[in-house]
Amino acid sequence: MIAMPRSVFAELDTGERPAARASTKYMETFQLSRPALGGTDIVTYANGAGDLDLYTIGTGGEIYRLRRGEKSMAPYEDTDLHIRGRQLFLYTSGTEGSDTPNLMTLGDSGQLSLAEYQATTGSYYQRETKPRDAGETIRQFRGARGITGNVYVNVMLDVPGEDYGLLANNFFKPGTSEWAGPVWAPVMGPGGTQAQVKSIAMVANSSVQSAIFAIGKDNSVLFSETSDRTSALRVLGPKKATALYVVADANDRLAIFAVELGTGKLLLKKEKKYQSGTVKQFDDWVQIDAAQSVPLTEIYASVTFDDLLQVFGIGTDGRLWRAGQAPGSGRSAEPVWQTLFPLGNAIPADPGSKATIFTVGRDRAGYAEAYTVSAAGDLNRFWQSPTSRQWFDQRIDLLRQDNDMVPVETHALEVVVLDEDGMPLSFAPVSIQASFLVTLFVDGRSYRCSQLNRVAAQTGPGGKLVIYQQATALAAATIYIETPGTLAGTPIVVEPNLQLQEKLASLSVADIKNAKDASGNYLLPAQYRSSDEYAQSLQQITQASMEIAGQRETPAARVVYHTVSRRKAARGFDPRLDLRAMSGTAWSIDFSSGFPQYQPMTLAQVADWKGERLAAMRASAANDDSAEVAGFLGIDWGDVWNGIKNAANYVIDGLTKIVVEIIDGIGRVLFEIAGKVFEAIIEFVQQAFDFVQGVWNWLKVKLRQLFEWLAFLFNLGDFQRMAEAVEHNTRVLLDFTAAGVDHVKDMILSGIDTLKDSLQSVVDTMIDELNKDDNPTYDQFSSQQEMTDEQAYEMEHNLFSNAYEQNGGKADEKGGGGAVSLMRSTALSSALDGLLAMMEDLANNFQFGDGKEAFDEALTFFTAIGDDPNNALNLLMSGVIKLMESVALFALDAAKGVIATLMDLVREVVESFRDVLFSEWEIPVLSQLYKFFTGKSLSIRVSQIASWLVAIPATLIYKLATGKAPFPDQASLDAYKNYVTVDWVKSKFGMTTQKQVLFDSTSEKVVAGVSLGIYAAAMVVRIFTDGLTGFLGSTGAMPDQGSKVPDGLKTYSRSWTPKGKNLAGLAAVLMRYVTTFATMPWLIRPGSPAPSCPAGDPGFAGVIWICQVIAGPTRGLLILATLSGKARTYTGELTITLWGFANIGMISWNYAASPKKDKLAKLGLSRALTNVIPGQATRFLFVPDVQEALYYVPAIIGEALIVVGNLGSAGVAVWELTEVVKDE
């Protein structure tokens, strides 16, 4: 459902306005992605947009650049730079931008190479570079830009057979090929001779610098403030080191991190805050964590988003460890270092050099990120949320070129932006932010999003945006959305986790005991499924966690309606949880038994436990001669959970207890690990989900397994079989149409004359009937049987419909034909040419000739509503019926000849143009989805497009009503196809059949249920397909300059290519065939008699239906397949309008004459009229000529009528479906 239900709208508080409808789903989606390979080294470099480019070195020395592709189909794009080398140094000198920096590398020969970008060729040119007389082999080098612009290069010259080299340097001016000196100038060491060093370093996060650092031959840490021929290194204190990393902090003070020789301890030497004299001074070496338990081998440091320092270390266990600063307690206090804690990520090393494959970087927005390579060789990104302090890792994905979709774990969000009347806001500008740095796919395109990185988007014709986040954790980032209706500074806060939160909160003990992954393996080992106590403990942990997550104004539900008001705006924007209502809550998770056990606690019990643990920590520190323990140890929230996720031994083996307490609205969580207690704060909804993921991870259940249990996974066969059934229906309808029309032709033509004579009495009777129901408005009439949110939810997250909406404009007809190449590929018969001319004349006569009065009356009726197009929804149904009298009189009078001729030629129309409906197309993403679901090629027939657009929602709504799939296996589909045949339809018409048709009451019920499910799904899909063709048609006369068309509509319309527009028309016709077949009386009302007259007879519904087949989609097929441009739009929209009002007349005539007016009959009337009014009778609102003068309001009104009408018609069908299957 893409609008706010009228029942919800009626309950809004005074001053509260609709803003958006959000539907969330933890589900499987599919993308064209492939992993980026990590290679042997990674270097980050901020590009012109401020994002981090990744430069990687392949196993053969090839250098690639990976760059975020904004608005692309994959998060990253890779470029082979066609250069080689290792030990990258990147710089810009002014002539080249940071998108194409110069690259200096070390070649296989031990000499430097410089690659410079050539704008004329769009590629890099690489050459060897060295001082004129230099010939030494270089083992390691480091480069830097100096303040004057010179490029300084420090090299460690190889000493064969030794583990050290000789330090030297030189420099050159960018843009020249000449070095300043002819040789590598020696850099002097502390003893006055050329420095002998094991490794060299420079300030990692400074693009302009002059200092040089090194580890000497004796492992001393060496330093010089300059790196030129006059430089001389001095020793920085007595400590010896095996690894070195240097950064400048937020105050531009140097921080030198080192791994101590022999102990592997993490050391730090800081530049003094206050300097005296001419020599740079440093504080003494300090150990960051005196209780460090694992020796380190490599270190990497960076400045975090909040301008604090953090250092990553690779332990001798091959795992990632981290220590970070926390703000000091005083106003001017220095930051304090937290414990070196195991994050647990396994960090590989390059097999050749043994060097660790890991790097860190910080983009221009201040976000710090790390990159490493997985065990499978894939390049991974690793980062921390600066708000929730959670850690996330995600594979770097590129666009794959083989058209093979891959499944992706996804937090899916569909947002419909609403206007103040609760209607979808088409083509609305939207600004999107996220609570932390995340990759979002918005309408199928990738964006980098955060609180600082905004995504600008625009809703489509239905006001919808589709937003995907890869599920790298159990909870997704919160989304902040600003729309034309939101107030300044108060975005809509959308939680993509709400459906998952609702599911987790309602898990039963049996659900948890029987939890399985996609392979059917139980998540809980057998010993924990022997009794309920273990699953009950997990249930209690989950419920307690979700209670915390639920402390937001937005309820935990899969569908949420967001509103705006000045009252809400006055409260201000605060993304944090409000835990005041939970003050006094306390509970714990005890791991000491070998299984996470939930334990309720009181605040007094927590206080006693805290006192005991603090005393034990102080006693332990005293025994170890450690520093006095002032309180519990600080730790970042995500460190513990990341350690659990990665099975870090220290955490898994040492974790004893997790205690939660909420006092005065502040949530504190204490982790008891290896005799120490760490304290963190819980403030954000995502943190609550960590309890759930964490306990399962502790039980060695991976996130992927949790996803397979909790998420919606596609049973491909169920949807493929439904699509086959829908396409089968279309073929049956086309094959039957000619024979069916011949059988009832005379009955139809005589009925037209009778209806003309009876029209006045029909109108009077219908108005009397409407008055019995208080003369409802169009809106009220359409809302008689609204879908529940649960039912509407099954219509959403439709992968194929979303793919078509996002990419249909780029469709291409297979074979490279012209605009729908099968159309008019041969000359039409003279009879069809004559029919076509009759239709064009009819359309012209309606707008400009004898029917002009009726046309103008209809246009005035729907547009004389004031400034708000939504006011059309308040038009009385009695007025619509009265208007029908005027238009239908002209239609029945003028169109009888056209209808008679069309019936005579219907066989020729269907046979001439059915190939158009089965032509093959390729549509980006949709074709790849089709290939994935079916195993076939990318080419998809138009009939299959329509079938797949409805397959997913039709299957799911049927499952919701019956508890089972409509076609659980091939046998059930075969039985359906063998039952619903042309002979079956003929038998319903009372016609002679080629084969005997046997009737089966059970099969008839299944057929009815399937048909109503297909109809409901198709009517929801038609909100897009009908609105699309309307909007595209309405802009057909749009001038290049000075148009009054809204900018959003103009941009959207121009994004559809001519081929895409042709496909839009074909798809719309097919969707009308789908809904027409699905409402065949004998399908949805088992036992209906053959077509018969007069109106009011039970068989008259069959007469109306066959008229709809002829004058509805078959008429549309002829026009679409033969006309083009303006003639197609006007003839198509105006002839369907005339048929629509005639159709309303026939439906009303039948209802007025029927003695049975029970609930089923009334809802059947509603289902029919709310289809016909927006789908046929009011299509004249989309003709181009009337748009400019009325500022495109007619088209906007037409879209509003489609939304409300189609939803109302679908809602009735869903109700009918539940009634049909009640006794199954």
Mean pLDDT of 1103-1116: 92
Tokens 């026939």 belong to 1146
**Across residues 673-693, what is the average pLDDT?**
96
pLDDT at 1000: 87
HEC sequence for 866-900:
CCCHHHHHHCEHHHHHHHHHHHHHHHHHHHHHHHH
- What average pLDDT does the segment 904-931 reach? 90
pTM over 0.85: yes
Contact criterion met (CB below 8 Å) for 443 and 466: yes
pLDDT at residue number 816: 53
Per-domain boundaries in the chain:
6-27+411-571, 134-287, 291-375, 580-682, 716-1220
Mean pLDDT of 1153-1160: 90
> Given pLDDT bands bounded at 50, 70 and 90, which one contains residue 243?
very high
Q: Is the pLDDT of residue 163 over 90?
A: yes
Pull the structure tokens for residue 561.
Answer: 């309606």
Residue 797: pLDDT above 90? yes
Q: Is a pLDDT exceeding 90 seen at residue 275? A: no
The three-point CA angle 1175-1181-1185 to 5° equals: 140
Question: For 626-641, what is each residue's pLDDT tens digit?
Answer: 667 778 999 999 999 9
Q: Is residue 712 very low, low, confident or very high in pLDDT (cuts 50, 70, 90)?
A: very high
| Eight-state DSSP code of residue 22 | E
Q: How confident is the model at residue 821 (pLDDT cuts 50, 70, 90)?
A: very low
> Span 242-266, mean pLDDT?
96
pLDDT given for residue 819 in this prediction = 39
Confidence tier at 824 by pLDDT (50, 70, 90): very low
pLDDT band at 823 (very low <50, low <70, confident <90, very high): very low
Q: What is the mean pLDDT of residues 658-672?
A: 97
Lowest mean pLDDT among 205-209, 448-452, 1074-1078: 205-209
What integer best gives the mean pLDDT of the chain?
92
**Residue 355: pLDDT above 90?**
no
**pLDDT at position 814:** 84
Token output for 98: 């940071």
Nearest to 1219 by CA among 1026, 1052, 1012, 1067: 1012
What integer is the mean pLDDT of 420-429? 95
**What confidence category does residue 825 fall into, taking pLDDT thresholds of 50, 70 and 90?**
very low
* Tokens read off for 187: 């850099």
Q: Which band of pLDDT confidence, cut at 50, 70 and 90, is reported for residue 1154? A: very high
Mean pLDDT of 574-587: 94
Sequence-separated contacts (24+) of 146-150 with Cβ below 8 Å: 146/171, 146/208, 146/209, 146/210, 147/208, 147/210, 149/93, 149/94, 149/173, 149/174, 150/174, 150/180
Q: Which residues contact 791 (CB under 8 A, 6 or more apart)?
A: 957, 960, 1211, 1214
Choice between 827 and 237, residue whose per-residue pLDDT is larger = 237
- pLDDT at position 95: 65
Res. 985 pLDDT band, cuts 50 70 90: very high
* Residue 1037 reports pLDDT greater than 70: no
Question: How confident is residue 822, by pLDDT bands cut at 50, 70 and 90?
Answer: very low
Q: Quick: pLDDT tens for 47-97.
A: 999 999 999 998 889 999 999 988 899 999 999 999 999 999 999 876 678
Are the C-beta atoms of residues 30 and 407 closer than 8 Å to each other?
yes
Query: What share of the chain has pLDDT > 90, as a percent?
Result: 74
| Res. 828: pLDDT tops 70 | no
DSSP 173-222: -TT---BSSSS-EEPB-TTSSB-EEEEEE-BTT-SB---EEEEETTSEEE
Distance CA 1008, CA 958 (A): 11
- Residue 729 has a pLDDT of 95
Residue type at 1007 in one-letter notation: V
- Range with the lowest mean pLDDT among 329-333, 959-963, 1088-1092? 329-333
Q: Residue 659: helix, strand or coil by DSSP?
A: strand
Encode pLDDT of 829-856 as tens digits. 788 888 889 999 999 999 998 889 999 9
Instruction: Name the nearest CA neighbour of 802 among 443, 427, 1206.
Output: 443
For the segment 242-271, the average pLDDT, to the nearest whole number, is 96
